[in-house]
Amino acid sequence: MTFKTLLAAGLLAATALAPAAAETIAIRAGRLITDAALPARGPSTVIVTDGRITAINDASAPIPAGAIVIDQSTKTVLPGLMDAHVHLGGDADDAWYVNFTPKRTEAYSVAVGLHNALITARAGFTTVRELGAGVHAGVAVRDAINDGLAPGPRILTAGPALSIIGGHGDNTYGINPEVADALDRAWPQINLCTGADGCAAATRAVIKTGVDVVKITATGGVLSLGNAGLEQHFSDAEMRSIAETAHRLGLKVAAHAHGARGIEAAANAGIDSIEHGTYADDASIKAMKAHGTTMVATLMAIEGLKERLGKGFYTAAVETKANQVVALQGKQLAAAYKAGVPIALGTDAGVFTHGRNGEELGLMVKLGGMTPRDALVAATSGTAKLLGIDKDTGTLAPGKSADLIAVDGDPLQDPAAVLKIAYVMVRGKAIPLK
C-alpha cells in the first residue's frame, strides 16, 4: 500500500492517540530562582500541568487536589541549565581513528547520542544544542527524545558543520589521500562548499535534513587531523551567503572560530554566535559587539585537551595546535564580558567527558571574571536567547515549559552548586537520575 492509498483509507488519521488526562505536579522549593537575573524567592511551590508551569506560589498556598508532590524544600530550584555546544555522538576518549572501526556506523552514533543525552540531562542540562553530528544521527537523537522513546534534554541540532574542502568539517582531510578518495565516494559530504552560490546550496542541503541551526567552521580547528591552521577558512562572501541563506529560512548560524580575523569576518557576516573565539582581539570583539554576536567560549574544551595532551592520544598536528590554544583559556570570555558582548554557555562536551558540562560555570567565573549570577544568567536565559527559545524556556513563569532543576546550595553565590543535582525535569517529565 502506498502512502497515498493509506491516506485515502483514513488509516493514518485513525492511529492518532486520544489526549491523556491532565497530570499536575507540585514542586516544593526551599529557595526558588525564577530568573537568574532577579533576586531569588524564599520557600515556594511550582505547579506544573501537562509539561507547562501553571503557577508559582508561596509555600503557604494550598496545593491543587490530586497533584503529585515533589519535595525539594531543602534545595534551590532554578531554570534548567543549557549548553549551546555539545557533541553527543562521540566521547572524549575516542581515538582519532574510531570512526574507521567496524561498529562505528552513523546508526551506532545514534545509540551513543541517546546515552550521552541522558548523562547530560542528569547533569542538570534541560536543553542542549548539538553542533556537529552525522548527516542524520543528530536529527534522529533529537526526534527520538521528542517522541518519548528515551529520556533526555530538549535538543537543537546542527547536523554536519559546513566547511571548506580541507577544513575542520571535512571528515577526510588529514588522512591517506587514497583512503580519503574511497570514503568521499562512499559518503558524499553534503557540508563541503566553495563560493557564495555553492555555499548557499550546501546550506540549503543541510537544512533540508531537518536541522534546527546551521554550524559552520569559519576557521581551522584544533582536533581536525589536517594542519590547515586556526585562521579564517571561508571567504567573507561565503560566510555572508551562508548567514543570509540560513536566516532567510529562519535558522540561526553558529561559527566555530579560533583565529581573530575569522571571528571578525564571521561577526561582520551576520553569524549569530562565535564558538570558542580563542584568539579574539580588540577588533574582533568590537565587531561582535557591533553586530550583537554571542560569545560561546567552551572553556571546558580546553580542560579536555589539557587532560589528554602529551600522552600520545592526539596526532602530532593536533598536539601542536592544542598546545597553542591551552594557554589562552578564558581570555576571550574575559574580553567579551568586559565589552558587554552577549554571552551564552557552551562547553564542547565530547572533547571532555559528557556530564561535566556544569563545570563551565566555575570556569566562567574563575577565568572569565564573571559574577556567579552573570554566569548563571548566561547558562539559562542567555543561552535561551541565543537559541531563539527564550519565550518558551530559560526562566520559570506561568505558561513556560517546565524545564527546571533542584540543587544543593545557592548557585547565585557559588557556581559549584550546580554540580550538586538533586532533581531534573524536562518539559514536565522527571529525568531518572540513576
Instruction: Name the segment binding Zn ion (CB under 5 A); options: 49-57, 60-68, 226-234, 342-350.
Output: 342-350
Tell me the C-alpha distance between 112 and 239, whole Å: 32
Least separation in angstroms between residue 132's CB and Zn ion is 5
Asked whether position 403 contacts Zn ion by CB under 5 A, the answer is no
Residue 418 burial by Cβ neighbours in a 10 Å radius (0-12, 13-18, 19+): buried
Least separation in angstroms between residue 158's CB and Zn ion is 10
Look at residues 129, 25, 5 and name the one whose alpha carbon lies nearest to residue 394: 129
Q: Which of 75, 215, 321, 400 is catalytic?
A: 215
Least separation in angstroms between residue 296's CB and Zn ion is 10
User: Which residues pair with residue 56 across a beta bridge?
Assistant: 46
Residues 347-376 that bind Zn ion (CB under 5 A): 348
Closer residue to Zn ion, CB minimum distance, 229 or 369 = 229
Least separation in angstroms between residue 276's CB and Zn ion is 8
CB nearest Zn ion: which residue? Answer: 348
Closer residue to Zn ion, CB minimum distance, 264 or 348 = 348
263-267 CB contacts, 8 Å cutoff, 24+ apart: 263/218, 263/219, 263/287, 263/288, 265/218, 265/232, 265/234, 265/236, 265/239, 266/216, 266/218, 266/239, 266/293, 267/291, 267/293
Write phi, then psi, for 56 (nearest 5 degrees): -125, 115
Q: Which stretch of DSSP H or E encloses residue 157?
A: strand 154-157
Residue 144-183 contact track with Zn ion, rule CB under 5 A, x = bound: ----------------------------------------
Amino acid at 66: G
Look at residues 289, 277, 215, 217 and name the one whose alpha carbon lies nearest to residue 252: 215
Counting residues that bind Zn ion (by CB under 5 A) gives 1
Q: Is the dihedral of CA 200, 202, 208, 214 positive or negative?
A: negative
Least separation in angstroms between residue 301's CB and Zn ion is 7
Tell me the C-alpha distance between 337 and 341, whole Å: 6
Query: Does 338 qualify as catalytic in the annotation?
Result: no
Tell me the C-alpha distance between 259 and 220, whole Å: 8
Q: Which of 170, 212, 348, 403 is catalytic?
A: 348
Least separation in angstroms between residue 215's CB and Zn ion is 8
Q: Which three cell numbers, joined as nine digits, stand for 349?
A: 562536551
Instruction: Name the segment binding Zn ion (CB under 5 A); options: 11-19, 63-71, 191-199, 345-353.
Output: 345-353
Closer residue to Zn ion, CB minimum distance, 196 or 349 = 349
Tell me the C-alpha distance between 60 and 41, whole Å: 13
Q: Which three cell numbers, joined as nine digits, stand for 320?
A: 601542536
Q: What angle do CA 310, 315, 317 make, to 5 degrees?
A: 100
Edge-first strand listing for the sheet containing 24-32: 52-58, 44-49, 24-32, 68-79, 404-407, 421-426, 429-430
Query: Does 143 qualify as catalytic in the annotation?
Result: no
Least separation in angstroms between residue 351's CB and Zn ion is 7
Write phi, then psi, for 76 (nearest 5 degrees): -95, 125
Residues known to be catalytic = 215, 348
The footprint of Zn ion (CB under 5 A) covers 348
